[in-house]
Amino acid sequence: MKRKIITVIVGMALMVTVCGCSKEQSETNVERTKEVTTKVSEETIQSEEITMETETIPEQTGELEEMSLKTTAAEEEAVIDRSETFALLEDMKIGWNLGNTLDAHGVTASVASETSWGNPKTTREMMQALAEQGIKTVRIPVTWSQHMSSGSEYEIDEAWLDRVEEVVNYALDEDLYVILDTHHEPDYWLKPQSEGLDEVKKQLTALWKQVAERFRDYDEHLIFEGMNEPRIKGSEQEWSGGDDDGRMAVNILNQAFVETVRSTGGANETRCLIICPYGNSVTYNSITQLEIPKDNHIMVAVHLYTPYYFTYESDDNNINEWDGSLKKDIISAMQLVDKYLIQKDVPVIITEFGAVNKNYINADGIEVSNREDVLNWLADYMEVTNKYGITCVWWDNGNYDKPGEKFAIFDRNNLSWYAQDIADALVAHTEE
């Protein structure tokens, strides 16, 4: 049931475990931090200057120059006040991702794709359990590619759009905020580069026009996220912030997304919209070259699985114990975001973060769980994000103990928590 619009100030058969952020992306976080020069106190978090090497930005030429963003005189004169958006972000508090579910792809193009990666069909009871735990925001990743026509109209399959709306309503009915995105499109057509960008822009705007029109009368609890990790897959700079061409293409696509949603009217005129840098990466170039639309209701989403060798289980170089010595990696990333976005009146949300469930052999030769270490890492992580007013959304792909990336904390089959202590900590740290 659609909500009545109100005006307020705040507003996953085949098991495949695919995380919203790949190994390569987070590895570059390790490399990136080598570029950061900062002095960090072990006891307190203090904002300091960050010195980083940056590419020389050449003058844009050719096709990309012709498509560069243009700002009208009226937009230049417009007063940008995002105070309502900051208030909404604060009200979103802590979030959870319905990963590997509506974003599953590559097996079937029907509504049945929802369960093709091994997760159960989403139910209203799942959303009730999340709300009862104190989760305030649910991000619903959706891969639209296989559910769109191949013709020039890029029409979304009606049954698929109906199912997406049904799941959105489950969450909204529990007074949860919902972030609705476009997820694995870079695996298919969403290529942020000047070559072929006109057609990419055409498909993106066609997609969001249909989605925005379907949800036009929903209130501010529904938020649209234009793209997820837009990047050229397999490229040398896939997870390190892209190149000049790619970053400019992302800027153009972000602007097109915002203009398309706004043009559909209704509640979409003031709905909060989330844009992102290239690959959702936190690097100097991706952050500083991100162009922010002249819009009061805009947030920027980044993904931060940091430090990578702790948050993931890699083949080597694992960091299994958390003693706080690498807290500086989290701090430096957030200082960068704060300096170039938050201090410039741009709200920031981390729409994907988390650490995998893993066992390791400790110094006494005993196999132990990393649960306590994850809890300690989480406390440090959220101390930093809380300092900057950044809302975080845990990446949950439904996998807790099977081969693959074990990011799950919520047991969707039994409506219980694999990691009740982590779930409790997420909520508790938000309230601090």
Residues acting as catalytic residues: 229, 352
Q: What are phi and psi of 221, to 5 degrees?
A: -70, -15
Whether the Cβ atoms of residue 275 and residue 254 lie closer than 8 Å to each other: yes
Give the containing element (helix H, strand E) for 131. Answer: helix 124-133
DSSP-derived secondary structure letter, 157: P
Neighbouring residues of 391: CB distance < 8 A, sequence distance ≥ 6? 89, 90, 92, 93, 94, 95, 137, 349, 350, 385
8 Å CB contact between 355 and 379: no
For 44, the 3-state DSSP assignment is coil
Q: Using CA atoms, how far apart are residues 161 and 171, in angstroms rounded to an integer?
A: 16
Percent helix, strand and coil across the chain, each to the nearest 5: 40, 10, 50
Pairing of strands 367-369, 359-361: antiparallel
Q: What span, in angstroms and rounded, lies between the C-alpha atoms of 187 and 208? A: 18
Residue whose pair of structure tokens reads 């997609």 in the numeric block = 207
* Ramachandran category for residue 323: left, alpha or beta (phi over 0 → left; psi -120 to 50 → alpha): alpha
**Nearest C-alpha neighbor of 27 from the set 287, 237, 288, 293:** 237
* Strands 348-353 and 273-275, bridge-based pairing: unpaired
C-alpha torsion sign, points 28, 30, 35, 37: positive
Residue 318 identity: N
3-class SS of residue 121? coil
Of 190, 110, 175, 114, the residue nearest 146 (C-alpha): 110
Per DSSP, 305 falls in state -
Q: Which tokens belong to 361?
A: 């052999």
Distances from the Cα of 254 to the Cα of 241, 275, 300, 370, angstroms: 16, 6, 10, 39
